[in-house]
Amino acid sequence: MPLEAPLAPVAERVADLNRRYAHHSASAVLEHALSDPQVGSIAMVSSFGAESVALLHMVAVIDRSVPVLFLDTEMLFHETLAYQRDVAERLRLGDVRVITPDRDALFLNDPDAILHRSDPDACCALRKTRPLLTALAPFDGWITGRKRYQGATRAALDFFEVEPGTERIKVNPLAHWHRDDVQEYMINNRLPRHPLVAQGFRSIGCAPCTAPVAQGEDDRAGRWRGRAKDECGIHFVEGRLVRGAA
């Protein structure tokens, strides 16, 4: 049998993927990402937050066996934990992996669970970034639910991007969707809503660092309100928080 040609560098593959799928629908981008050899083995990372169910449903329709990584920081709302179990059961997701922080690291760095008060970046790194990096190690890429409309730092989001500091590809099938697109998809498919949405939460993370947002505010205005921080810590480069469009 002929040997397979080696893959091009990840930046070249991402540029090619964005060219080839530039005018495709979200579901088509997702379906191709799950089968295109340029992407490789892939998992989905989901917060099971305010809008997560739309993309989770889309994945379930295509392939219920896709690994779904759920980060339980041990500081989530009880409503999120219950919602995660309900959605996974309703969609019959076959491979949901609940990722938790390292016990020894928590004991050494945040034994009283108050690190978020003094250093939220360090808390995110401890409870989200490092556990996620470990969970993603076997994969060539991962699927996110990020969208351009969610804030200025995401305004130029493409379907495919290189995860900074790695050889992994991030896939953003809903990058071009607007809030109305998500709501319409959820209504048309009769998908359950996160119970905190009715209380004014439009972007839902850990309980101590998430607040409701007012009418007209950015969706993520309730995350780390009053702090110079706008990303959860999943988007780090070599252990450092990536801000803005970097």
The answer to whether 10 touches 162, Cβ cutoff 8 Å, is yes
Count the helix, strand and coil residues of the chain and give each as a percent rounded to the nearest 5: 40, 10, 50
- Sort strands 160-162 and 169-171 into parallel, antiparallel or unpaired: antiparallel
- Among 160, 169, 196, 117, CA closest to 18: 160
Enzyme catalytic residues? 232
The answer to whether 209 touches 230, Cβ cutoff 8 Å, is no
- Other CB atoms within 10 A of residue 155 CB: 10
- Among 198, 214, 206, CA closest to 233: 206
Name the DSSP letter for residue 104. Answer: H
Per the DSSP assignment, residues forming a β-bridge with 223 are 210
The answer to whether 189 touches 37, Cβ cutoff 8 Å, is no
